[in-house]
Amino acid sequence: MSITIDRISKTFGRFQALRDVALEIPEGKLTALLGPSGSGKTTLLRIIAGLESSDSGRILFGGEDVSSLHVRNRNIGFVFQHYALFRHLTVAENIAFGLESLPRRQRPSKPEIRQRVAKLLEMIQLPQLADRYPAQLSGGQKQRVALARALATQPRILLLDEPFGALDAKVRKDLRRWLRALHDEFHFTSIFVTHDQEEALELSDQVVVMSQGQVEQVNTPTELYAKPESRFVFDFLGHVNVLSGVVRGQKLVQGDAWVSLPGNRSEQEAQLYLRPHEVHLARAPDAHARLPLRIDAVSLIGSEVRIELVPEGWQSNEIWEVGMSHNEFARQNPSRGELWYGVPDIGHLFSGDNGQPKTVDWHCRDVAKACNI
Amino acid sequence: MSASANPSVAPVRRFSGRSKRVLPGFGLSLGISLFFVSLVLLLPITGLVIETSGMTWDQFVFTITDPRVVESYKVTLWTALAASLFNGFFGLLLAWILVRYEFPGKRIVDAFVDLPFALPTAVAGITLATLFAQNGWYGQWLAKLGIEVAFTPLGIVVAMAFTSIPFVVRTVQPVLEELSPADEEAAVSLGASDGRVFRKVIFPSLWPALVTGIALSFTRSLGEFGAIIFIAGNTPYVSEVTSLMVFIRLQEYDYAAASAIASVVLLASLVLLFAINLWQGRYLRRLEGR
């Protein structure tokens, strides 16, 4: 069942939570609503569910207008951040709740319900916990039970509000993988809300980035990461190194730092955005860039060595981060306090107030005198 | 209010000399509390027992099974039961609107709930008697329907209900406030009707607090005196409550008999409160997974 969000607006008092949001959620896909807190992502999810009403606009499920339909009739499954399990009911009773709430004519018989519950317990891999109470479960187990409860009535749409937000890192990762596998098996249309970009990029088929009640960009995770269309999306999806300065004589200059931008003539303010993997470090400045950076910290954990650097002789709002392979690290052995030079390989140039960035590639410079400016 | 106390918060090695307590003043505060509890609670109860122990067993049994006294037990029990059940219903409703809805004058209604505690019970009794008398504001209308309240056992119920309603409201209110809206939303999203949400989700969470409130209301009603005697009419064998029997014995300077009857009321209240506490502890343990 596809979902159409048609120009939805919502205000809480004087706070505009959503303004004219229009969005298409494809059938059978896992869509992430990603944004910082206050971006309106949870409000949008709750409006889709019918737990909140919009001030204007329509929600359509598979072409059918459900805006005026009560939550209980929308046939959705909703999973809450803090599980919202019924504390006085056992795990099995929790899962059976939706089935037992069906109108008498549609309600399965008692043995049938028991069978369905057993099957769902099997699916969440917790059949031995049927008679436990929620308070006796761990966070990850609770969220699985909440998911089974939401899926028991075979909803058309599954909505998850920060489903892994209250879990610790290890459990979160496991559960994420498990949910992905479950989704690949059953292909229900699902939307989940998250503020964790890694979670959104890893788990979903489509990411909707939201900010200040508006949709910033919609795309697949790979495309989104490779081609952010705005400063906000750039900033929000992982760490970014920024050199902000003035374009002067085919260079972007700030203090002691500069980067060559062949072909750029007009003098104006601009910002160069670089992902940690788009820069490498050298002992001496390169011909096309001089970015003096002093090493502030080195983190060896993970598949890559992460080096944090502080600008020397110029300024940046945030610390710079450069990734380096363990091999490379062993060879070069950079250590704290040393002065190194950043050498960009690919960069994204924002100039003027808004608009999309221009990609700059210094590698093909020799071939065709800077390819993409 | 002991019924709602959490039994699990006591530190583990309370009397161990080795453990260094982080919060100071445990010994002092416990000492003062126990001293005070003894002074205002245990000592009077002991006095009651000593006074009673001056009687022989036969005398004791004879005093507490006097037909007029037994009749007063019955009257007190059923009126207290009726009053506390009424309060259970009405108090829940009051707490519900105070927590769930916004309406003008809500703060005033909230403040008025405590009025029965603030008002001297005798004043309450006189006021109620005036209102429900045959020519009173309420009484004249009820009389047309053939209902007599003042100077009948029904009047006792009214007085008891009035003086003990805050117990129910004030025990249910905080629990209602703490209910997570997500639980209800979850139930509704699973297709449950409003009635089912209340029965299956809200009520089971409220239940322990409501029972506590009703029990407190009930035990308070068992001992109520001031408000009742003005409206009850105090007809022997019909509308005499047990606390009045104690009072009558006191007026006869028969302190032993008064204490004997009082000890029956005391015992009934204690047993009830204790039972509620036990039951509630078990219920809450299940919710908290211990």
Place of tokens 């006869």: B252
- Say whether pLDDT at A116 is over 70: yes
- Say whether pLDDT at A167 is over 90: no
Residues B110 and B246 in one domain: yes
* Predicted local distance difference test score (pLDDT) of residue B2: 43
* Predicted local distance difference test score (pLDDT) of residue B18: 58
Residues B227 and B84 in one domain: yes
Residues B248 and B268 in one domain: yes
Place of tokens 């803090």: A82
Domain A239-368, CATH among 3.30.930.10, 2.40.50.140, 3.40.50.720, 3.30.70.120: 2.40.50.140
* Predicted local distance difference test score (pLDDT) of residue A226: 82
CA distance A226 to A201: 12
CA distance A289 to A208: 35
Closest CA to A96 of A133, A149, A58: A149
Average pLDDT for residues A241-265, to the nearest whole number? 84
Place of tokens 């309106």: A40
* Predicted local distance difference test score (pLDDT) of residue B10: 46
CA distance A274 to A272: 7
Residue B244 lies in a domain: yes
**Residue A126 in tokens:** 């917790």
Over the stretch A180-203, which tens digit does the pLDDT of each residue have? 888 888 888 999 999 988 889 889
Contacts of B209 in chain A (CB under 8 A): none
CB A73 within 8 A of CB A155: no
* Min Cα–Cα distance to chain B from A40, Å: 18
* Min Cα–Cα distance to chain B from A103, Å: 9
Residues B45 and B92 in one domain: no
**Residue A148 in tokens:** 């089974």
ipTM rounded to 2 decimals: 0.80
Q: Which of B102, B185, B190, B282 to mutate to test the interface with A (most CBs of A within 10 A)?
A: B190
* Residue A53 contacts B where some CB pair is shorter than 8 Å: no
Q: What HEC string does B249-280 produce?
A: HHHCCCHHHHHHHHHHHHHHHHHHHHHHHHHH
Residues B242 and B217 in one domain: yes
* Predicted local distance difference test score (pLDDT) of residue B8: 46
Residues B68 and B28 in one domain: no
Residues B62 and B47 in one domain: no
Over the stretch A194-252, which tens digit does the pLDDT of each residue have? 998 888 988 999 999 999 999 999 999 998 888 888 888 888 888 889 998 888 878 88
CB A278 within 8 A of CB A347: yes
Contacts of A133 in chain B (CB under 8 A): 286-287, 289
Angle between helices B181-189 and A139-151 in degrees, nearest 10: 30
B32 burial class (0-12, 13-18, 19+ CB within 10 angstroms)? exposed
Residues B217 and B277 in one domain: yes
One-letter identity of residue B222: L
Over the stretch A329-348, which tens digit does the pLDDT of each residue have? 999 888 899 999 999 988 88
Residue B2 lies in a domain: no
Residues B116 and B199 in one domain: yes
Q: Classify strands A189-194 and A30-34 as parallel, antiparallel or unpaired.
A: parallel
Residues B121 and B30 in one domain: no
Q: Where does residue A8 fall: left (phi above 0), alpha (psi -120 to 50 degrees), or beta otherwise?
A: beta
pLDDT tens, position by position, for chain B (290 residues)?
A: 444 444 444 445 455 555 566 777 888 899 999 999 988 888 888 888 888 888 889 999 998 899 999 999 999 999 999 999 999 999 999 999 999 888 999 999 999 999 998 999 899 999 999 999 888 898 888 888 888 888 888 999 999 999 999 999 999 999 999 988 899 999 999 999 999 999 999 998 898 899 999 999 999 999 899 899 998 888 888 889 999 999 999 999 988 899 999 989 888 888 988 898 888 888 877 777 65
Q: Which of A46, A73, A81, A101 to mutate to test the interface with B (most CBs of B within 10 A)?
A: A101
**Residue A78 in tokens:** 């909703």
* Min Cα–Cα distance to chain B from A75, Å: 8
Q: Classify strands A206-211 and A30-34 as parallel, antiparallel or unpaired.
A: parallel
Q: How many residues does chain B have?
A: 290
- Mean pLDDT taken over chain A: 88
- Say whether pLDDT at A164 is over 70: yes
Other beta carbons less than 10 A from residue B64's beta carbon: 18
Query: What distance, in Å, lies between the first and last C-alpha atoms of chain B?
Result: 23
Residue numbers of the domain that contains B210 = 56-288
Closest CA to B215 of B153, B280, B260: B280
Angle between helices B242-251 and B67-100 in degrees, nearest 10: 130
**CATH class, A3-227 region:** alpha beta
Average pLDDT for residues A46-71, to the nearest whole number? 92
Closest CA to B124 of B92, B88, B156, B169: B156
Question: DSSP for chain B?
Answer: -GGG--TT-S-SSTT-SSPPPSSS-HHHHHHHHHHHHIIIIIHHHHHHHHHHHTS-HHHHHHHHT-HHHHHHHHHHHHHHHHHHHHHHHHHHHHHHHHHH---TTHHHHHHHTTHHHHS-HHHHHHHHHHHHSTTSTTHHHHHHTT---TTSHHHHHHHHHHHHHHHHHHHHHHHHHHS-HHHHHHHHHTT--HHHHIIIIIHHHHHHHHHHHHHHHHHHHHH--HHHHHHH---TTTS--HHHHHHHHHHTT-HHHHHHHHHHHHHHHHHHHHHHHHHHHHHHHHHHT-
Higher pLDDT, A363 or A203: A203
Q: What is the DSSP letter of A356?
A: P
Question: DSSP for A82-93?
Answer: T----TTS-HHH
Residue B278 lies in a domain: yes
Where are the CATH 2.40.50.140 domain residues in chain A? 239-368
Question: Cβ–Cβ of A80/B182 closer than 8 Å?
Answer: yes
Closest CA to A78 of A205, A188, A219: A188
* Residue A136 contacts B where some CB pair is shorter than 8 Å: yes
Q: Classify strands A289-290 and A279-282 as parallel, antiparallel or unpaired.
A: unpaired
CA distance A366 to B255: 113
Residue B3 lies in a domain: no
CA distance B239 to B230: 11
Residues forming a β-bridge with A268 = A247
Q: Which of B196, B205, B288 sits opposite A101 (nearest CB)?
A: B196
* Predicted local distance difference test score (pLDDT) of residue B1: 40
* Predicted local distance difference test score (pLDDT) of residue A370: 46
Where are the CATH 3.40.50.300 domain residues in chain A? 3-227
Closest CA to A292 of A335, A254, A330: A254
Over the stretch A299-321, which tens digit does the pLDDT of each residue have? 988 888 999 999 998 988 889 99
- Say whether pLDDT at A58 is over 50: yes
CA distance A295 to B240: 90
Average pLDDT for residues A30-46, to the nearest whole number? 92
> What is the pLDDT confidence band of residue A92, given thresholds at 50, 70 and 90?
very high
Residue B153 lies in a domain: yes
Residues B204 and B135 in one domain: yes
Q: What are phi and psi of A216, to 5 degrees?
A: -85, -45
Question: Cβ–Cβ of A82/B182 closer than 8 Å?
Answer: yes
CB A145 within 8 A of CB A163: no
Question: Cβ–Cβ of A84/B190 closer than 8 Å?
Answer: no
* Residue A107 contacts B where some CB pair is shorter than 8 Å: no
Other beta carbons less than 10 A from residue B213's beta carbon: 30
CA distance A208 to A214: 10
Q: How many domains does chain B have?
A: 2
Q: What are phi and psi of B219, to 5 degrees?
A: -65, -35
Residues forming a β-bridge with A358 = A349
Closest CA to A57 of A26, A25, A27, A18: A18
* Min Cα–Cα distance to chain B from A220, Å: 29
Domain of B188, CATH number, reads 1.10.3720.10
Burial A79-99 (b: 16+ CB within 10 A, else e): bbbbbbbbbbbbbbbbbbbbb
Question: Cβ–Cβ of A97/B187 closer than 8 Å?
Answer: yes
CA distance A242 to A254: 11
CA distance A339 to A345: 20
Place of tokens 């039970």: A145
Residues B155 and B210 in one domain: yes
